[in-house]
């Protein structure tokens, strides 16, 4: 694909698709992490004498309607504060202010207010792709969606390229898929095997060991023939889980923390072979053997918590895991909202080699799929 750094940006108008889908609370940005992730590309464009129009979605408004709670106005205000420059909000694609005002940074209103975004409308894609001289795609978190701003706009733009964040994401994620060193340890947690089945199957062909946690671990434990009481499991996944388990790479916990309720009634530490019918597995303990695997690893992939870590009663497994990864000298890659929340809670993002900004996009990339936006970018040549 064409990279932003390979193009002459002097006096060019750049339309940049970013992912600034941030939490808004009482009209203010509650967490600016995703906005800050966009800064390298924005600053690079400005340093090279280009003007910028940013495109992003926010939440799930009814398409074709303006809804105040999903307006990007708070995002534009927050970006202005962070970058210490005027940021102008543009309401419509027909605005005569686009690239013609004194502001070098503009933000288009929520792209999901525009009819045709979700359906990958060619008409909307053509409008977006034709707004500027270059269409820059830098929203890795949306790269798995074939929509007007993530696909049709790329295909219809005279020049389309990757932004610095997308380039960085692809380089780091590819390292964990294609350029890894062994031993390779994957940690996959979360609620359901079904949502991560393709990831587990693909990584099972790559990694040396897979440590499972959360409801995913419960399903694997049950598939091994053990009782898991009232624990969250997926009955429809038991046969598939058993076939994966039989390949010998899945690491199950030996000891877990159970409770009869999420409030911690009758909480106890026990072995996975001693769980009562009215008990739930809500956290697990990292064995010394597991810690040693992490310590000796050269590559670590982490997606998902070990237990219900949002509750301090059941956070120990995820907390211990975070700290073990932080101590490791391996190349470590983390992705997914809950994973990043755990990192922010227990360690620092700098303790991990790379934290991906993608959720669904991260999973699909690590499943070995070619994401629609990346496929579209790969098809473009300068001037096509």
For residue 43, what are the β-bridge partners?
A: none
Distance CA(79)–CA(101), nearest Å, equals 18
Q: Are strands 354-355 and 331-334 parallel, antiparallel or unpaired?
A: parallel
Beta-ladder partners of 106? 53, 88
Strands 268-271 and 209-212: unpaired
Q: Tokens 């992939």 correspond to what residue?
A: 301
Q: How far, in Å, CA of 360 to CA of 358, rounded?
A: 6
3-state secondary structure (DSSP) of residue 353: coil
Backbone angles phi, psi at 174, to 5 degrees: -65, -30
Determine how β-strand 24-25 pairs with β-strand 299-303.
unpaired
- What are the residues facing 259 on neighbouring strands? 280
Q: Where are the alpha helices (DSSP H) in the chain?
A: 33-47, 73-83, 122-129, 153-156, 164-178, 193-204, 214-223, 238-245, 288-296, 316-327, 337-346, 360-366, 372-378
Q: Which residues are catalytic?
A: 34, 192, 337, 360
Round to whole Å and give the CA distance between 144 and 281: 33
């Amino acid at each position: 694909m064409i990279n932003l750094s390979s193009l002459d940006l002097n006096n060019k108008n750049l339309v940049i698709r970013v992912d600034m889908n941030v939490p808004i609370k009482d009209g203010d940005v509650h967490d600016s992490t995703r906005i800050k992730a966009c800064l390298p590309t924005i600053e690079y464009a400005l340093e090279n004498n280009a003007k910028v129009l940013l495109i992003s979605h926010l939440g799930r408004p009814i398409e074709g309607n303006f809804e105040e709670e999903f307006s990007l106005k708070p995002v534009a205000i927050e970006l202005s504060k962070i970058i210490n420059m005027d940021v102008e909000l543009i309401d419509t694609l027909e605005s005569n202010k686009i690239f013609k005002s004194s502001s070098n940074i503009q933000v288009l209103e929520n792209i999901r207010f525009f009819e045709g975004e979700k359906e990958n409308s060619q008409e909307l894609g053509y409008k977006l792709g034709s707004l500027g001289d270059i269409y820059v795609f830098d929203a890795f978190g949306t790269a798995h969606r074939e929509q007007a701003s993530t696909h049709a706009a790329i295909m219809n733009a005279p020049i389309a390229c990757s932004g610095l964040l997308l380039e960085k994401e692809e380089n780091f994620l590819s390292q964990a898929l294609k350029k890894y060193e062994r031993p390779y340890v994957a940690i996959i947690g979360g609620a359901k095997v079904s949502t991560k089945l393709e990831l587990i199957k693909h990584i099972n062909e790559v990694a040396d060991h897979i440590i499972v946690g959360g409801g995913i671990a419960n399903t694997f434990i049950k598939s091994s023939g053990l009782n898991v009481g009232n624990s969250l499991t997926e009955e429809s996944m038991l046969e598939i889980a058993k076939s994966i388990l039989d390949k010998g790479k899945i690491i199950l916990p030996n000891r877990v923390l159970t409770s009869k309720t999420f409030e911690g009634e009758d909480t106890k530490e026990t072995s996975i072979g001693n769980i009562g019918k009215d008990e739930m597995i809500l956290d697990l303990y990292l064995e010394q053997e597991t810690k040693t695997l992490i310590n000796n690893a050269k590559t670590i992939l982490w997606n998902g918590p070990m237990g219900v870590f949002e509750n301090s009663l059941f956070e120990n497994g995820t907390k211990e895991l975070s700290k073990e990864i932080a101590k490791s000298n391996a190349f470590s890659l983390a992705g997914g909202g809950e994973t990043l929340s755990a990192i922010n809670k227990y360690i620092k993002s700098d303790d991990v080699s790379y934290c991906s900004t993608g959720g669904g996009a991260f999973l699909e990339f690590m499943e070995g799929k070619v994401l629609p936006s990346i496929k579209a970018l790969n098809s473009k040549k300068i001037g096509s």
